[in-house]
Chain A
Amino acid sequence: MFTNQRRARVTTTQEPPAPQADAQEYSTHPGAAANRLFGGLSAGAATLILVTLAAVATFLLIEAWPAMTASSAELSDKVHWLGTESNETLLATIGFLVYGTVLISAIALLIATPLSIGIALFISHYAPRRLAQGLGYLIDLLAAIPSVVYGLWGAIVVIPVLQPFYEFLERYLGWIPLFAAADDGSVSGTGRVALSAGIVLAIMIIPIITAVTREVFLQTPTLHEEAALAMGATRWEMIKMAVFPFGRSGMIGATMLGLGRALGETMAVYMILSPGLTFSPYILQAAQHNTIASYIALQFPEANQDGVSALITMGLALFVITLLVNMLARWIVSRRADFDGAN
């Protein structure tokens, strides 16, 4: 039987091979269609992002156009919360709101970033494994709390607790303009001030910054950690030598994600902050600041057509800020790409 088979094979090779059959054999394989389909789907998903971004930008521009091109006199006739005085025009209002938004987000970021990095480091490099796991879940759970709940909690629980602390800040650090008291010599009695909004926002963005930085820290190559330890680095020195440099771009990315959320956060700020429109640096005084998102939420329900157009101009401003923040982050990340730990 064996010899028969062999003989049969030999005879076939002596005949000229059938080229069409061979071409067929090399032209298709079972996974080809699925591969093409998935490639198409994934390209489609990527395109969708671009289309959405373009659509949002176009919408903002078109809808904001009437308000942007109208004179301030025209606008103040139609929109009751805008005036002709130099500090009541649309541009001036946007200026105050951009300032308020950036100020409150900066407070939030200043508080949240070091805390988040500390928590992430504790989870990734200090805590025993079981504690680290539990803590990780808890942090993720924090991220799942809706912002309106944070707003309620902030307004009802946090602010009353913080108010005495503000008085303390004013008493001992009042000489710093940030913590200065109002003309009557006291800080806001209700505590509905920029610092409160910043603190609650900080609590809201801690989970996202922590979750991302924790993942980045956990990916630090053991090789680099051991290189540092073997030279006689303490754990903290090892973190400075191996973990931070490796996670640098990830940390910046995480911070920017947090900043993005802080900039756009509406409900919590709306519920906590006593709004005002000024360029004041006094974060312990009420009725000084407001953010773009919270202002839009405040005015939108009662706005007429021109009012909506004016509000959308503010939305456009927020869009531009967020875009700038992201570009800045990209630039920081790419600056020392040669030395990046991730390559």
Chain B
Amino acid sequence: MSKRIDINNLNVYYSSFLAVEDVSLSIEPKSVTAFIGPSGCGKSTFLRTLNRMHEVIPGARVEGEVLMDGVDLYGEDVDPVTVRRHVGMVFQRPNPFPTMSIAENVLAGMKLNNKRLSKSDADDIVESALKGANLWEEVKDRLDKPGSSLSGGQQQRLCIARAIAIKPDVMLMDEPCSALDPISTLAIEDLIADLKDQYTIVIVTHNMQQAARVSDKTAFFNIAGTGKPGKLIEMNDTPTMFSTPSEKATEDYISGRFG
């Protein structure tokens, strides 16, 4: 259910532009790892290499290794489509399919994997995924309504339900709360704490309090200047990172001196 990720010497490119330079780090299973850093430092770009969504952009490519329990996701016989079925992703802005109902949204990924689902199986999956995303109580009476009829925070939890319905090994979250109000943010953070029991979670966030609240480990990314590649500055246990970081840049960023 949850896997370990080891990244070795990863360089991320947009065509010839080097966006993220030489990152090596390890992500523990059943833990929450937060990526923090100023805008443009490449943390989202880096996150998107973990499910091979980066290469969706024309010209985008990587060099290096991403090992998922020892298997290189960028190995020759690896199909990015299969990788994405094992690594779920939640985006910055909630993106339920507007033409699908709430239930259909939850089942969207399942339908890709096995076309035939009995009605009762489908109902079970919808219920357990929505319960897993702490959304069941709010929507159980209107599962056939469009997903876009929900509030922003509910839509984001619907997207999480959609991602966990396919039982991924890893869950990537790209600033999942940046478009949400504080109460919805709290709901998502509670959910992340629950999901940690089952999944390896990687979250990108601009909000340092959020990183401190939800994550076990924190990685700080920084950029030397516009046009320069982003780099991993340091990574450590979250309490250590926020109390006694070993790098000056980390301390400056965390204490609000820049960024």
Contact = CB atoms under 8 A, between A and B. Distances in A.
Contacts of A343: 98, 148
Contacts of A330: none
Centre residue among B95, B99, B112 by max chain A CB count within 10 A? B99
Contacts of B148: 343
Interface string B85-107: 11011010101111111000000
Interface stretch (B25-33, B62-70, B127-135, B159-167): B159-167
Contacts of A339: 98-101, 146
A245 B97 contact: yes
B10 interface: no
A237 B81 CA distance: 11
B53 A229 contact: yes
B142 to A, nearest CB: 12
A184 interface: no
A224 B56 contact: no
B82 A231 contact: no
A84 interface: no
A237 to B, nearest CB: 6
A341 B81 CA distance: 24
Give the interface size class of chain B: 20 to 34
Nearest to B148: A343
Interface in A168-223: 221, 223
Contacts of A321: none
Contacts of A129: 58
Contacts of B108: 228, 231, 241
A223 B95 contact: yes
Contacts of A237: 112
A340 interface: yes
A303 B124 CA distance: 72
A242 interface: yes
Given A237-B112, A241-B108, A230 B53 contact: yes
Contact of B99 (A226, A231, A245): A245
A304 interface: no
Contact of A231 (B56, B85, B146): B85
Interface in A239-263: 241-242, 245-246, 248
Interface string B109-150: 100110000000000000000000000000000000010110
Contacts of B56: 226, 229
B46 to A, nearest CB: 16
Interface string A3-14: 000000000000
A336 B148 CA distance: 13
A230 B162 CA distance: 11
B113 A232 contact: yes
A338 B102 CA distance: 13
B84 A340 contact: no
B226 to A, nearest CB: 24
A341 B89 contact: no
Nearest to A248: B99
A337 to B, nearest CB: 10
B51 interface: yes
A228 B109 CA distance: 8
A227 interface: yes
A227 B112 contact: no
Contacts of B166: 231-232
Given A232-B82, A234-B81, A237-B112, A227 B88 contact: no
A237 B91 CA distance: 19
A203 to B, nearest CB: 31
Nearest to A237: B112
A246 B84 contact: no
Contacts of A128: 58
A338 B95 contact: no
A216 to B, nearest CB: 14
A232 B85 contact: yes
A162 interface: no
Contacts of B146: 338-339
Q: Which of A223, A233, A339, A340 has the most B CB atoms < 10 Å from its CB?
A: A339
B81 A233 contact: yes
Nearest to B59: A129
Interface string A313-325: 0000000000000
A262 B52 CA distance: 45
A214 B83 CA distance: 30
A340 B146 CA distance: 9
Give the most central of A227, A232, A237: most B CB within 10 Å: A232
A226 B109 contact: no
A224 B95 contact: yes
Interface string A69-91: 00000000000000000000000
Contacts of B88: 230-231
Contacts of B86: 232
Contact of A340 (B51, B58, B85, B98): B98
Q: 4 smallest A-B Cβ distances: which pairs?
A: A232-B85, A245-B99, A230-B89, A232-B84
Interface of A: 128-129, 221, 223-224, 226-234, 237, 241-242, 245-246, 248, 336, 338-341, 343
Given A223-B95, A227-B91, A231-B109, 18 more contacts: A224-B97, A226-B53, A229-B53, A229-B56, A230-B91, A231-B108, A231-B162, A231-B166, A232-B81, A232-B82, A232-B113, A237-B112, A241-B108, A245-B98, A336-B99, A338-B146, A339-B99, A339-B101
7 contacts: A128-B58, A129-B58, A226-B95, A229-B56, A231-B163, A339-B98, A339-B100
